[in-house]
């Protein structure tokens, strides 16, 4: 009987050791899962940040071309160009439009119900331009810009709200 008793004690001891090993493995597994979830969260955050940086860069590119290059091409077109100069200006303008096209498509997709002029106005508002500056850049009247501003506010659901249009547009990107 003593041998049977020792056998059952040994079996119980083996079971306790096995249970402890199982608990240790579960604890290690839970710890690994938690680390993986934290890494996954960090990677998602980095990807969001990278995507935001990419959008910001695309918008800066478009803005710079619109503000720093296109106005001078327009002014060149208004002057008397000799020989091939007008052809070169038209080619430069066409090539710039081709380069900007993918970026414009992305912005346009965010504002499906906006007209092209409203997209231009919204982009300039977002950059901090005032109505007078926008009118000068786009070569239209201040009252036309005011109409576009009202239309943009209406399409964004901001009519009769005290929301700053520039702040709201900045939050969309």
CATH of the domain at 155: 1.10.10.10
The sign of the dihedral angle between the CA atoms of 135, 66, 108, 93 is positive
108 and 132 both lie in a single domain: no
φ, ψ for residue 164, nearest 5 deg = -70, 125
Does the residue 17 lie in any domain? Answer: no
CA distance 3 to 9: 10
**Residues 48 and 107 grouped into a single domain:** yes
Q: By residue range, what is the domain housing residue 51?
A: 44-112
Q: Do the domain assignments include residue 28?
A: no
Task: Report pLDDT for 110.
Answer: 63
Alpha helix stretches (DSSP H) within the chain: 2-64, 70-78, 85-110, 116-126, 131-138, 142-155, 165-172
The pLDDT tens digits along the chain (173 residues) read: 555 555 566 577 778 888 888 888 988 999 999 999 999 999 999 999 998 888 788 777 877 787 778 888 888 888 898 888 888 888 888 788 777 776 666 665 666 678 878 888 888 888 788 999 899 888 899 999 999 999 999 988 898 888 899 988 887 75
Q: Is this structure's pTM higher than 0.85?
A: no
Q: In terms of domains, do 49 and 107 share one?
A: yes
Please tell me the predicted confidence (pLDDT) of residue 173: 55
Tell me what pLDDT residue 95 has. Answer: 80
Angle (deg, nearest 10), helices 85-110 and 2-64:
140
Q: Is 32 a domain residue?
A: no
Question: What is the reported pLDDT for 33?
Answer: 93
Total domains in the fold of the chain: 2
């Amino acid at each position: 009987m003593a041998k049977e008793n020792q056998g059952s004690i040994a079996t119980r001891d083996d079971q306790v050791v096995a249970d402890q090993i199982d608990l240790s493995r579960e604890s290690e597994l839970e710890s690994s899962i938690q680390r993986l979830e934290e890494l996954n969260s960090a990677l998602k955050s980095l990807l969001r940040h990278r995507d935001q940086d990419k959008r910001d860069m695309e918008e800066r590119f478009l803005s710079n071309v619109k503000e720093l290059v296109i106005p001078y091409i327009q002014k060149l077109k208004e002057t008397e160009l000799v020989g091939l100069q007008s052809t070169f200006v038209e080619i430069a303008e066409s090539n710039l439009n081709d380069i900007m096209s993918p970026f414009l498509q992305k912005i346009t997709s965010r504002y499906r119900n906006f007209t092209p002029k409203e997209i231009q106005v919204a982009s300039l508002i977002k950059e901090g331009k005032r109505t007078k500056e926008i009118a000068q850049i786009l070569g239209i009247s201040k009252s036309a810009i005011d109409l576009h501003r009202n239309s943009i506010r209406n399409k964004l659901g901001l009519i009769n709200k005290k929301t700053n249009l520039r702040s709201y547009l900045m939050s969309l990107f």
